[in-house]
Amino acid sequence: MNERIRKIAQETDAWCDQYYFGEDSYDIEWETKFAELIVFDLLGELTNDDTLGPARIETIRQLAQRYGVAR
């Protein structure tokens, strides 16, 4: 596991411990938050990638909607 994934997993642990510690739904919430944070990280990289040109914002919006993380 690379360092970035490990950091995202630690962020996920902290978030789930704060909101779902001791609950039956902890594992499901952990998996959901972990996936969400990975998608946010990837979208953040796309935001900073100038090689995508003018369609960049639309591409990012579509990906965020596809993965249900549009804000």
Q: What is the DSSP letter of 61?
A: H
Residue 16 or residue 70, greater confidence = 16
Distances (CA, A) of 42 to 4, 17, 49, 64: 11, 24, 11, 10
Residue 10 lies in a domain: yes
Look at the chain and report how many structural domains it folds into.
1
Specify the pLDDT at position 6.
95
Residue 20 covered by a domain: yes
The answer to the question of residue 44 being in a domain is yes
Asked whether residue 18 is domain-assigned, the answer is yes
Q: Which two tokens stand for residue 6?
A: 């490990």
Write out the residue range of the structural domain in which residue 32 sits. 3-66
1-15, 21-35, 48-62: which has the minimum mean pLDDT? 48-62
**Does residue 8 form part of some domain?**
yes
